[in-house]
Amino acid sequence: MPIPSRAALIDHLVRTRIAGDIATPRDNNLAHYRELANGNRHYWLGLELGDRWSDEQDVLAVMAERCGVNDDPGHRVGQDTIDPELTVAALERMAQRLRKAAEGRERVLLATGHPGGLLDVHRATADALRAAGCEIVRTPGGVVADEAMVFQFGDVAVLERGATLWHTHSPAPMAAVLDALERAGRPLPHLVVADHGWAGCAGQRGLDAVGYADSNDPALFIGEAEGTVQVTVPLDDHVTDPRFYEPMTAYLLDAAGLL
């Protein structure tokens, strides 16, 4: 995969709707912001937000600043956006943390709650980090969460139920993995690269966590604003073809010095 320039990547993100005019509608975004503000923990993605974000407009303001959604509270339905410049800037911040991991040959755990979209992004990142000398953390066997099993595919932890990889926002799988590592007397990761509740739980546990989030998943952006999550990359996390993420992944790994 050729390494795109910054301008070429931005064009690609907009053309494939990873950013720019995205498929997630405005009313869905606002509904999720409201649920987070109302204290619905499903939308907290493993973070502990207390009563600090009980105003839906505060959540919208963070999402406008860090994701690039429309900042007009009167815009209730129709199209919403992710700013591709913010996407690339966050990729560059993530690349700096990956570079640090490679230089220190750190232990890294990768996980996804969106295997249909982001599994290959995480898998390629795991391959590059291992080649640079990092230890890719193996999850203990027999880990169960949310009535499903935690397995690794291509070094990426996922939730599996009924021979199917599950889309999940839950923090329970990451909590179960970290608890199992501690019970086994194994060291915790220095870095977690993930999304959804996998990333939120890791950050809440005090681990360095970087991840990806869609415009309707505000918690990780709030986590970054509060310093619990180190980097949150805004993107549509399930576009029509997962291969559309390949140029983005190549840009990330090249910026991290891993290609």
- In the structure encoding, which two tokens stand for residue 258, read together? 């891993």
Q: Which helix (H) or strand (E) holds 170?
A: none
pLDDT, average across residues 27-33: 98
Can you give the pLDDT at residue 164?
94
- Whole-model pTM: value is 0.97
Alpha-carbon span 45 to 27, nearest angstrom:
20
Alpha-carbon span 130 to 142, nearest angstrom:
24
Can you give the pLDDT at residue 1?
73
Which residues are paired to 192 by β-bridges?
A: 109, 209
Backbone torsions φ then ψ of 145, nearest 5 degrees: -150, 140
Q: What is the DSSP letter of 12?
A: H
| Coil, helix or strand at residue 72 | coil
| Inter-residue contact 251 to 233 (CB < 8 Å) | no
| Coil, helix or strand at residue 91 | helix
Q: Torsion-angle region of residue 171: left (phi > 0), alpha (psi -120 to 50) or beta?
A: alpha
pLDDT, average across residues 172-185: 98
Closest by CA to 185, choosing from 120, 140, 229, 119, is 140
Can you give the pLDDT at residue 14?
98
- In the structure encoding, which two tokens stand for residue 32, read together? 């999720």
Report the percent of the chain where pLDDT is more than 70.
100
Can you give the pLDDT at residue 200?
98
pLDDT, average across residues 111-120: 97
Can you give the pLDDT at residue 147?
96
Q: Residue 44 pLDDT > 80, yes or no? A: yes
Alpha-carbon span 257 to 259, nearest angstrom:
6
Q: Is the dihedral of CA 163, 169, 174, 176 positive or negative?
A: negative
Backbone torsions φ then ψ of 152, nearest 5 degrees: -120, 130
